[in-house]
Structure 1
Amino acid sequence: MRDLRRGSTMWLVLIVDRARVALTRFTVPSVSGDGWTSDEHPIGFPATQLVPSWTARTPPGSWIEVELQAVTAGGRRTRWYVMGRWSEHGEPRTSVAGQGDGDGDVAVDTFVARQPVSAYRVRVRACGPGARVEELAVLASALPAPPPEGSPPSGLEPVELDVPALWQHAHAGHHPEYDGGGANWCGPAATAMVLAYWERGPEDLAWVGAGCPAPAVDHAARGTYDSSYLGTGNWPFNVAYAGTYGLRGFVTRLRSAAELERLTAAGIPVVASLSFKERELPGAGYSTSGNLIVVTGFTAGGDVRVNDPAAPDGRVRRVYPRAAFEHVWLRSSGSGGIAYVLHPPELSLPESDGNW
């Protein structure tokens, strides 16, 4: 479980006529010495949040650090903020709390600006031998409230991707040192489902213990655990974990269910982050301050097919009404449409409007 409210009320979020989102992917050369720093990258609109994500390989004893520096609307550069220290082996695998100042703060994995920013630079440091970044992306966004009417169905053929269904509550009490066990493992369960769909995943599972219904979920919990946040819901850490098994990926914001339809129609399941009260999402049967689910397709009528690992009755495969799903997912009091996309590097993504 990821509490989407954590850190989200500290700064003013700019409300604009429509969602403004830009995802930029950077080519990172071999990182050594003082590391690699991008050129100053203009965003093209006043942004209020920045989220980097990456895939990397870090042999034992090595790790990477990812930092961001924003440029205010007046052209002044902020200081550098640490957005994550990552090792696929842990030690370190941590966000960095307590970085707030007059320009903004880091809420786990998101730089939240006090005032809108116009540009940024990203920096990567490699520590130890052999660490390399395979893919680096930065999401810049400003959030509106979603349109109350939602988006109409796209008219695409209905689809249901054959994503294995994994239930986080089947892991209750497992390895509580990683965010308390199964009740909080929506992120690891969602990531493990997508890895299994792409026929990827870990082999070193003997340590999980006998009788586990899906050892890959326990492994993903260990592999995504953020030792500062004390949780497994760090979005970039889930992407980076999947990257250790050959997938590429990024965190982005989508503007509508129609964009989800385009991705699932291309055979790509999407992990979406949302929060809701039970009454707001018919068929859910529970309330959550933050949940990660896998969108697996759409019905002929445009409703959303999902694998929901938090389903209280164990029926992971569900269909949620399109308008209700879109509302609780896109609203700025929740995640604002946050999703992460994981795919094999040889698979081309469908055309986008700048957010993948």
Structure 2
Amino acid sequence: MSRAQQPSRRTVLAVAVAAAVAAGTSPAAAVTASVADDDAKGAPSRPIDYQSWTTYSDWRSGAAQGVRLVSGRRPGAVIGAAAGSTDYTDPHTGTTATWEYATWTSPVHRLGVPATEVIASWNAHTPDGTWLQVELQGTYTDGTATPWYVMGRWAAGDQDIKRTSVDDQTDGKSSIWTDTFAIDDASTGLRLVSYRLRLTLYRTPGTHLTPTVWRLGAMGSDIPDRFTVPASTPGLAQELAVPRFSQEIHKGQYPEYDNGGEAWCSPTSSQMIIEYWGGRLTPEQLSWVDPAYADPQVDHAARFTYDYQYGGCGNWPFNAAYAASYPGLQGVVTRLASLTELETLIAAGIPAITSQSFLKTELTGAGYGTSGHLMTVIGFTADGDVIANDPASPDDPAVRRVYLRREWENIWLRTKRHNASGGVSSGTGGVCYLYFPADPSPCQRKALAAVGVR
């Protein structure tokens, strides 16, 4: 077995956790035994590094200007005495307004694996009159530094600013592609070895309003270029009772939020898992939606994940932040290394939203091809095939699909694919959104730890 084919430390750990959960034994014991065994063998790390700042100790490790840290059950950052004020001209409305601000800058995080890509995500409450910005600055393997890149300007609502990514950010070595930092030419060997995040909180001047941020993190990775991935061995037969919503029944709705239909796979998938965890919208919150529309909560998700620069609802961090705007939920954007890791999460009751692209001939039973699509994975059959709530279905009852394991893991985990015109297009290399309780059970914590999320 070559090094590239060897199971990673996290993958072996994930197998142990999944087996323990399925057998009704202690996941903690499985983790301890697996880690000890890996340490003894000197097993390699997985090529994915998710780092977050969530505890009071984490927040204290950063540098604050005008930010006050709060403790308690959900530690985080708020505006204390503002550090200053600034004018911001919204590029999507042309409106200029003055905002008080405060900043928090993380300590430098040295990546466990030098990265070709980094994706930030955050969880926050932004009442009317507030918003936030997340930036990233990193250091390359050649010792030089990136500029401060804007990773997103975000508010839960859309009355004060229009949430937005920022285009045309590059230094000739790396660029920001909507929500993703990427090395421009990974074949040169250049990588990002460390980074820090800067959080800026904004509020209406002269008020005591404040955003509250309780999770800030980023996933760095160096997934090798590949058209195919090694096959995994099935290890779980389980299905979660996740609600089913079709994106297609919304075709033509709200052109200002990208017109429904195939453009709404991401918010439709997000809403499925939000409601799986008990998240509900009130009639008042949904009152803006045309009452003739079925599943109005999907329209709501589209509106409040919409990225005004990207012109769509598929901004990955914006979807995670939207999910975390529901009480009792957290959301992160990360990558998984294998279907085994996904089985670990399902065994603990945690579904996942996965991003993939494929030709019509590459996924049996889908009936379509796509340059990028989000699905909700809810389980595995006894044969190990993937059970997915696929929003690209004609109606809600048709959303549940079973896809062949080998086909599905390849279209999700690869980084390159042949496209319909015969050229080469990119794959996502295992990108997923994970939404889970603010207070996970011990079993859920072990499963999340097994895939690098805390």
Q: Same fold (TM over 0.5)?
A: yes
Match of 1:349 among 411, 431, 445: 445
The aligned amino acid for 1:116 is: R
Q: CA deviation at 1:148?
A: 3.9
Q: Is the 8 A contact 1:100 1:106 kept in 2?
A: yes
Return the alpha-carbon distance in structure 2 between the equivalents of residues 354 and 172 of structure 1. Answer: 36
SS in 2 for 1:208: coil
1:1-356 alignment runs, 5 A limit = 17=4, 20-27=47-54, 28=59, 29=69, 30-32=77-79, 33=83, 34-90=102-158, 91-114=161-184, 115-128=190-203, 129-144=209-224, 145=226, 148-154=229-235, 156=236, 158-203=237-282, 204-246=285-327, 247-312=329-394, 315-333=398-416, 334-347=427-440, 348-351=444-447, 352-353=449-450, 355-356=452-453
The aligned amino acid for 1:22 is: D
Number of residue pairs matched? 339
Return the alpha-carbon distance in structure 2 between the equivalents of residues 350 and 323 of structure 1. Answer: 27
The aligned amino acid for 1:349 is: R
Return the alpha-carbon distance in structure 1 between the equivalents of residues 368 and 175 of structure 2. Answer: 31
Q: CA deviation at 1:277?
A: 0.6
Return the alpha-carbon distance in structure 2 between the equivalents of residues 217 and 277 of structure 1. Answer: 27
Return the alpha-carbon distance in structure 2 between the equivalents of residues 130 and 264 of structure 1. Answer: 36
Q: What per-residue deviation string (whole Å, max 9, x for no partner) do you get for residues 15-50 of structure 1?
A: x93760011111344244340001111002221000
Q: CA deviation at 1:182?
A: 2.5
Q: Please tell me the root mean square deviation across aligned C-alpha atoms, in Å.
A: 1.6
Return the alpha-carbon distance in structure 2 between the equivalents of residues 288 and 354 of structure 1. Answer: 27
The aligned amino acid for 1:26 is: W
SS in 1 for 2:312: coil
Q: What per-residue deviation string (whole Å, max 9, x for no partner) do you get for residues 132-163 of structure 1?
A: 11211210001122764411112x3x111111
The aligned amino acid for 2:140 is: T
Return the alpha-carbon distance in structure 2 between the equivalents of residues 313 and 195 of structure 1. Answer: 19
The aligned amino acid for 1:172 is: K
SS in 1 for 2:298: helix
Return the alpha-carbon distance in structure 2 between the equivalents of residues 349 and 252 of structure 1. Answer: 16
Q: Is the 8 A contact 1:262 1:350 kept in 2?
A: no
The percent identity for this pair of structures is 45
Query: Unaligned regions of 5+ residues in structure 2, if any?
Result: 6-45, 60-68, 70-76, 84-101, 185-189, 204-208, 417-426
Question: What TM-score do the two structures reach when normalised by structure 2?
Answer: 0.72
* Pair member with larger Rg: 2
The aligned amino acid for 2:219 is: L
Return the alpha-carbon distance in structure 1 between the equivalents of residues 233 and 215 of structure 2. Answer: 34
Return the alpha-carbon distance in structure 2 between the equivalents of residues 146 and 202 of structure 1. Answer: 41
